[in-house]
């Protein structure tokens, strides 16, 4: 039997310890996060807003703020704004992006397609009025919105060339049939939901064209729509702008997990 000199044995023992030890986890790269978009990203519907955000109504209960509070990124620019359209993102929000931005979230397109007017028409008009207005919105989403989204997405990529970009969609508003005893008919509810379906398809296609990650929230909100047993969305509310937006549960349980899963 060959004897190992004491010094050599010690070296071998130390080497064995290091070889068997698990590799240390790599330190996460610094995250510089910018949250763009409309009221679904600013947090309208949650009932509590940062006074300094004015009419943009940014909330600490919105998914961007919730994610930032739990992950403590190196920087966080929350510029999503209630009522924003694609043109507003280009004019007022993309300035927050830079070459150092590593993560971007955005929901946009619903206001361009006339979501507010769809809800107003369906609330006040007949079933046929509602169907006609939703058909107009769907036509806009299919024929006009794609180019507008392309402009926004290409600008984001140009300003933040290395960022992971997460695009979040919009939920269906209603469970059909649902438990609501009064309010909109099932015809109106179905028409509004069909608009959400078309919008999701268009946004997903344009996001994919830029290799952005699209997170479809419709599945997450299934079983939690208006008229379901557990609402994650406000129906007609006061103040009126709170209506037809995710409530705190919708932000925390619907939007946040999907964004977190994509953000890493």
Residues assigned a catalytic role: 39, 245
DSSP-assigned letters across all residues of 195-250: HHHHHHHHHHHHHHHTTPEEE-THHHHTT-SBTSSS-SB--S-SSGGGTTSB-HHI
Q: Residue 24 CB: number of other CB atoms within 10 A?
A: 6
CA 104, CA 107: separation in Å to the nearest integer? 11
Cis bond leading into 177, ω under 30°?
A: yes
**In this structure, what are the phi and psi dihedrals at residue 238, rounded to the nearest 5 degrees?**
-130, 130
| Burial state string for 113-127 with b = 16 or more CB within 10 A and e = fewer than 16 | bbbbebbebbeeeee
> How many CA atoms lie less than 13 Å away from 98 in the CB half-sphere?
7
* CB distance 49 to 55 below 8 Å: no
**Cβ neighbours of residue 128 closer than 8 Å, sequence gap 6 or more:** none
Distance from the first to the final alpha carbon of the chain:
54
Structure-token pair, residue 121: 């028409």
């Amino acid at each position: 039997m060959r004897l190992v000199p004491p010094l050599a044995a010690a070296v071998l023992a130390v080497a064995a310890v290091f070889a068997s030890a698990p590799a240390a986890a790599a330190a996460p790269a610094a995250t510089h996060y910018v949250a763009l978009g409309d009221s679904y990203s600013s947090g309208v519907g949650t009932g509590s807003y940062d006074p300094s955000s004015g009419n943009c109504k940014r909330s600490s209960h919105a998914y961007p703020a919730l994610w930032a509070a739990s992950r403590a990124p190196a920087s966080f620019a929350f510029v999503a704004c209630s009522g924003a359209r694609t043109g507003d993102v280009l004019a007022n929000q993309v300035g927050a992006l830079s070459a150092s931005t590593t993560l971007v979230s955005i929901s946009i397109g619903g206001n361009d397609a006339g979501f507010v007017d769809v809800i107003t028409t369906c609330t006040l008009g007949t079933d046929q009025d509602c169907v006609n207005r939703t058909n107009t919105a769907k036509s806009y989403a299919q024929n006009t919105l794609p180019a507008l989204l392309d402009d926004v997405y290409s600008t984001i990529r140009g300003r933040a060339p290395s960022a992971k970009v997460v695009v979040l969609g919009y939920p269906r508003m209603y469970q059909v049939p649902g438990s609501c005893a009064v309010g909109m008919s099932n015809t109106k509810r179905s028409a509004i939901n069909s608009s959400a379906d078309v919008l999701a398809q268009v946004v997903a296609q344009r996001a994919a064209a830029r290799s952005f990650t699209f997170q479809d929230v419709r599945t997450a909100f299934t079983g939690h729509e208006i008229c379901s047993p557990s609402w994650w969305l406000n129906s007609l509310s006061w103040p009126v702008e709170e209506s037809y937006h995710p409530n705190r549960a919708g932000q925390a349980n619907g939007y946040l997990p999907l964004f977190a899963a994509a953000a890493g």
